[in-house]
Amino acid sequence: MKMKIMRLSRAQARTVGAYKRVFESDDGRAVLVDLMRRAEMTGMPSPKKEPTDWAFAEGKRACVLEILQMLGIDEQKSLELYKEGAE
């Protein structure tokens, strides 16, 4: 699998740095784990009744995935983070 190499502008690099400073703190990790739980990132999503419920749930999930991507956290690492936070 090829890795994408992206050049970040200074503004983008500052934003990524801000995400890392926030979410790499103890409180930030706790918030990230809570966001993962609320977005149903692990396990089966709760039953939805309407198509809009699915769309809303997917929007929450996409937002958390964007944060994980900014932090450079892959799927395996996110599961480990979630398990550590649940203890």
User: What pLDDT was estimated at residue 33?
Assistant: 94
Distance, CA of 3 to CA of 58 (rounded, Å):
26
Residue 19 lies in a domain: yes
Residue 3 lies in a domain: no
Residue 2 lies in a domain: no
Q: What's the predicted TM-score (pTM) here?
A: 0.77
pLDDT digit string, tens, across residues 12-57: 989 999 999 999 999 999 999 999 999 988 766 667 678 888 888 8
The length of the chain in residues reads 87
Do residues 30 and 85 touch, judged by C-beta distance below 8 A? yes
Residue 15 lies in a domain: yes
User: What pLDDT was estimated at residue 45?
Assistant: 64
DSSP state of 46: P
Report the number of distinct structural domains present in the chain.
1
Whether residue 3 has pLDDT greater than 80: no
Residue 1 lies in a domain: no
Residue 76 lies in a domain: yes
User: What pLDDT was estimated at residue 2?
Assistant: 45
Residue 28 lies in a domain: yes
Amino acid, single-letter form, for residue 12 = Q
Domain that holds residue 38: 11-42+50-86
SS3 assignment, position 16: helix
